[in-house]
Structure 1
Amino acid sequence: MKQLKALILAAATVIAAQAYAAADSQEDKIRERIKPVGEVCVGAECGGAVVAAAGPRSGEEVYGAACGACHTAGVLGAPKNGDTAAWEERLAKGIDQTWQNAINGINSMPPKGNCMNCSDDEILAAIKYMSGQE
């Protein structure tokens, strides 16, 4: 009878220890899921702040970020990058007119090609890059 009590006590101890460990594990998982995503830095040096690149982007960078979506495949009649014949036709009116068309939008092209964070100079650089005028 003593052996049976000892066996039951040992089994109960093992089960209780496993239940306690499982509860701790669940609490840790919950803490991980609900922890804050970030911290607000107010009035102090924020060492991890990301600094944006200074200066205008190159024509190639603007093309890769915005213009390439249409000008790589010639979507809706857009002159393809490097297609000098198609670009000569547009540049016949002058680079300034082509630039204004790109800024204001023309035909299927929306203003600035939907690159609303592009400066006018970056748009000009992209035109020069795509037309081979760079």
Structure 2
Amino acid sequence: MSDAHNEHESAIRTPKQLVAAVIGFFAVTVLGIILLVQYVTADKLTGRGSNSQAPEEIAARIAPVADTGFTLKDANAPKVLQSGEAIYTSTCAACHGAGVAGAPKFGDAGAWSARIAQGYDTIIKHAIEGIRAMPAKGGNPDLDDVEVARAVVHMANHAGAKFKEPEVPAAPAPAAAAPAEAAPAK
């Protein structure tokens, strides 16, 4: 048998070729490092805080925190009541959209028919106070009773009911007008 298949042949056959290959390897490596350094340092690098005394930087640092995207709400302002559809989307759809825990699905006339037959007042009472797996006000205690009633009417009407959307209760008379009316006539 021949050992011809075990022979190893290299591209470098003489010491002169070896020296040229080693020098070429180092030249390519050094050239690569030089190009990498030029690429990294081509842009002017500024560190954090290098522009810290500019007027706009100072203004950004001393600006009130409330100006950074927070919406402040006046607790004494009158509450703006949301529509039935908005309340359904934000609160009720989690359960009534998929029929979770026996909740009647939105638009399912068969599931809503027994509830609609109980009458408007009963459905609203159950929605506000809670019934079986449903928590009071759908689990959102911040909702006003009128908002809950609007959401129930929205859901029931999509299932075939003909309920009228509830009216907003009249606001109390201003306190300044009451003492003027109560003053005795001379």
Smaller-chain TM-score bracket: 0.5 to 0.7
| Mapped partners of 1:87, 1:37: distance in 2 | 54
Does residue 113 of structure 2 align to residue 92 of structure 1? no
Tell me the equivalent position of 2:95: 70
1:124 is aligned, of 123, 126, 149, to 149
Deviations 1:71-111 (A, max 9, x none): 00000110111112211211222111111111111111011
Percent identical: 35
Instruction: Determine if contact 1:83/1:131 at 8 Å carries over to the other structure.
Output: no
Query: Larger helix proportion, structure 1 or 2?
Result: 1
Higher RCO structure (Cα 8 Å, ≥6 apart): 1
CA distance in 1, matches of 2:114, 2:63: 53
Return closer, same or farther for 1:104/1:54 CA change in 2, 3 Å cut-off.
closer
Q: 1:114 to 1:30 in 2, by over 3 A?
A: farther
Moved >2 Å (runs of 4+)? 26-32, 35-41, 48-55
Number of residue pairs aligned between Structure 1 and Structure 2: 107
Q: TM-score, normalised by structure 1?
A: 0.63
Q: Cα RMSD between the aligned structures?
A: 3.5
For 2:49, the equivalent position in structure 1 comes to: 27
Write out per-residue CA displacement over residues 5-38 of structure 1, whole angstroms, 9 at most, x where no aligned residue.
Answer: xxxxxxxxxxxxx9xx86x622259998xx4673
1:57–1:122 contact (8 Å) kept in structure 2 = yes
Q: TM-score, length-normalised on structure 2?
A: 0.47
Write the distance in 1 (CA, Å) between the matches of 2:140 and 2:113: 23
Question: Any gaps of 5 or more consecutive residues in structure 2?
Answer: 1-40, 164-186
Q: How many Å separate the matches in 1 of 2:142 and 2:78?
A: 13
Q: Separation in 1 of the partners of 2:119 and 2:79?
A: 30
If you compute each CA radius of gyration, which structure gives the higher value, 1 or 2? 2
Q: Distance in 1 between matches of 2:115 and 2:146?
A: 18
DSSP-derived class of the 1:26 partner: coil
